[in-house]
Structure 1
Amino acid sequence: SEVCTTAECINGFLPFNPAAEVFYWIEWVTIIFFTGEYLVRLATCGDGVCSRLRFIARISNLIDLCAWLPFWVSGFSQDPPFAKPTLGQLGGGGAAFVRAIRLVRVFRVFRWGRYSLGIKVFAQAAQLSVAPMIILAVSGVVAMVILSSVIWMVERPEGSFVDDDLLFITGRSRPEPDKYGMQDICYGTIPKAAWWVLTTMTTVGYGDCSPITGVGKMVGVLTMMAGIIVLALPITVLGSNFAKVTEMYEDDIARFSAQDYDKDGIIDEHELRDFIRTKRREGLLRRDVDVSIAALMEKYDEDRGGFLRLEQFTKLQQDVLAEPTDPFQLLQKKLDTRLLAIEEALAAIRKGGTEDEDQTKLSRAYDSRMSA
């Protein structure tokens, strides 16, 4: 849909190119598909008005709504309705802007794409790095204000460091006394000088503005160094948090894979029941949370598919598991582990063998379980 809108904006494409009508009908097909998919999901999201309102209020569903609703609104507002587009129509800001909103629909593919996990990792790392980013913003603003003021005092045409000969040699003299020259544009005011400071601190250096005095060049060196210091430290924290979150997600995937016995990428009710039974035996379940399978599936299975995905299972673990902090829970966990080791050792003995072999099997099975 957005490809069609982009192609239609090419000068001379409409209304003369025969392919324009093909794009028009392609857009119709895509919009009908988006509309039908949304309405079907809305009809099956649950019973009652509250369920449907919660469905509509979700961010992802609001993005879906923006994918097709502007088409119908702009189409019915035309005269005649849903007229084929012309270059004049696209030039008007209203309809073109509304249609451009559909580009947000592209972000929906990340829900199924392999980059979805990377986006979540980056988002969580950014959330953990809010404080360093605030420090970055404040430090950057303070440094920019100070350096902009300094470079303005040094490089402004009326300053004591700049004379007419220097402006003439560097090609920045005013064309007429009452008109601006390049030096006025770059350093005439502190806000104008802030543009140069920002591009220099971020090491972009467009080259449209540069100091022409010796003192100004020294200030430029300080600005470059300040940019490295101000930007480097918070970015390092962001990278460190990104590595930590990546490690956390890898642990979540490992726990998920260990519980996903049939390796189908989901946790069904049988696997969830085994997970709850194991954690109850280990004494790791919270006592203030309803851990019945029906209640857990009702709460965490948002798609109502009868299974849990990685994100849903991770959220479930965070809510139902408790750290064994009190002595009773620690003792219970230790006793459960030893009891399980004895049961496995006895199971090994039942397979038969001499008395010495039974003793060896018992010792090996017990040691193996206790070291696991």
Structure 2
Amino acid sequence: MSLQTTCYNILTASSDAREHKAMSKVFDWVLILLVLINVAAMMLETVPQVANVWSYELHLIEIVSVILFTIEYALRVYSSAAAPVHGNTELVHKSVWKRRWQYMKSPMAIIDLMAILPFYLSVFIAFDLRILRVFRVLRILKIGRYSRSMQTLVTVIRNESHSLLAAISVLLLFTVIAATCIYYIEHHAQPEVFSSIPASLWWALVTLTTVGYGDAVPVTALGKIFGGFITIMGICFYALPAGILSSSYTSQMQLKRDRFKDTVRTALDDGMLSAHDMHHIERVRELLDLDEEEAHLIMRLLQHHHKVAENTGSDEPHSNHHAP
């Protein structure tokens, strides 16, 4: 096995190479720990008492983190050429560097690059790039690579993007309508608070979301009635995106359970589960991010149904044989 393929199997936890499974898990946990330490250090840098005392140590953590993240990014780009194509004929005919460029344009690769780019820009470019340091917080998004729950959420958002866009469009439209109405209702009573429709958008937003900071409130009777109506409507309208996401997330989890059941049923076709079958089932469970206890319960239920079906099938010929 080539170095390129070995790096790919370790970095991506590829199921094609079981001998690298343990090493891949260790690598994942080290990277997760490094990300958490780095984000914690970034946050502590903003505390003056801590920054003054531990400035050298915090800067050292930053340098070490960037070096390790740079090595990780370089290895991921290098090994991306070894990724399986799964029947993608276009990718098969692409050169090694074209495959790597295809990977570099992926969302996770861009996040990896943005996590280290501000450091190098601040070193090699001689002007104030402090605003780019905000991108350091993107390092926490690297954990999404190792969290299948977050990957499921991203899949849900991608699948429901059209529905979410429609719901957000309705919310924005209703927010503008609410801001316009409250402006004409309250402007004469509070010209400094509701000075314009854009200024009234803040009141509409915090009222529709039922946050209600209290910095802008209606004082007229009609304004209070309208404000109460907007608050009630906000509960209804802002529940739309949450309902869409929760429904789709539940569907995704049910789809994972169904795929796990199909895997177990296929393994039970010969009437028993071998060590190879158990290893394959466990691997599928990990990939689907199913709870271990729930997966074992599904396996026991399917094994029970399989035994009942076998016994029922074997009893039928026996009873027919003794039939008069």
TM-score, scaled to structure 1: 0.54
Q: Distance in 2 between matches of 1:121 and 1:194?
A: 34
Correspondence 1:36 to 2:102: no
Write the letter of the residue equivalent to 1:101: F
Correspondence 1:107 to 2:84: no
Correspondence 1:153 to 2:184: yes
**1:192 is matched with which residue: 189, 199, 221?**
199
Write the letter of the residue equivalent to 1:153: Y
Q: Distance in 2 between matches of 1:6 and 1:93?
A: 20
Q: 1:364 to 1:42 in 2, by over 3 A?
A: farther
Residue matched to 2:118: 70
Instruction: For residue 184 of structure 1, report the CA deviation from its aligned partner.
Output: 2.0
Q: Distance in 2 between matches of 1:97 and 1:257?
A: 52
Residue matched to 1:4: 41
Q: 1:365 to 1:38 in 2, by over 3 A?
A: farther
**2:283 is matched with which residue: 248, 263, 266?**
266
Correspondence 1:53 to 2:87: no
Write the letter of the residue equivalent to 1:363: P
Kept in 1: contact 2:145–2:151 (CA 8 A): no
Q: Secondary structure at the match of 1:30?
A: helix
CA RMSD of the aligned region, Å? 3.6
Kept in 2: contact 1:121–1:242 (CA 8 A): yes
Instruction: For residue 60 of structure 1, report the CA deviation from its aligned partner.
Output: 1.6
Q: 1:28 to 1:146 in 2, by over 3 A?
A: closer
Q: Distance in 2 between matches of 1:190 and 1:37?
A: 49
Alignment of 1:155-304 (within 5 A): 155-157=186-188, 162=189, 183-233=190-240, 235-256=242-263, 261-263=277-279, 265-266=282-283
More helix by share: 2
Residue matched to 1:21: 56
Q: 1:109 to 1:129 in 2, by over 3 A?
A: closer
Q: Distance in 2 between matches of 1:50 and 1:244?
A: 36
Kept in 2: contact 1:129–1:237 (CA 8 A): yes
Kept in 2: contact 1:256–1:310 (CA 8 A): no
Unaligned runs of 5+ in 2: 1-37, 83-95, 268-275, 289-309
Kept in 2: contact 1:186–1:196 (CA 8 A): no
Kept in 1: contact 2:73–2:112 (CA 8 A): yes
Unaligned runs of 5+ in 1: 79-91, 163-182, 268-307, 312-344, 349-358, 367-372
For each residue in 1:297-339, what CA deviation from the matched residue of structure 2 results, as whole angstroms up to 9, or x when unmatched? xxxxxxxxxxx9837xxxxxxxxxxxxxxxxxxxxxxxxxxxx
Paired residue total = 239
Instruction: For residue 257 of structure 1, report the CA deviation from its aligned partner.
Output: 5.4
Q: Secondary structure at the match of 2:279?
A: coil
TM-score, scaled to structure 2: 0.61
Q: Give the 4+ runs in structure 1 shifted more than 4 A.
A: 256-260, 359-362
For each residue in 1:178-220, what CA deviation from the matched residue of structure 2 results, as whole angstroms up to 9, or x when unmatched? xxxxx22322222222321221121111111111111221111
Q: 1:103 to 1:187 in 2, by over 3 A?
A: closer
Kept in 1: contact 2:168–2:241 (CA 8 A): no
Write the letter of the residue equivalent to 1:4: A
Q: Distance in 1 between matches of 2:156 and 2:247?
A: 9
Correspondence 1:129 to 2:160: yes
Write the letter of the residue equivalent to 2:210: T
Kept in 1: contact 2:39–2:139 (CA 8 A): no
Kept in 1: contact 2:160–2:244 (CA 8 A): yes
Kept in 2: contact 1:257–1:263 (CA 8 A): no
Q: 1:217 to 1:309 in 2, by over 3 A?
A: closer
Q: 1:65 to 1:193 in 2, by over 3 A?
A: closer
Q: Distance in 1 between matches of 2:231 and 2:315?
A: 70
Q: 1:132 to 1:34 in 2, by over 3 A?
A: closer
For each residue in 1:144-168, what CA deviation from the matched residue of structure 2 results, as whole angstroms up to 9, or x when unmatched? 33333332222222xxxx4xxxxxx
Q: Distance in 2 between matches of 1:26 and 1:56?
A: 26
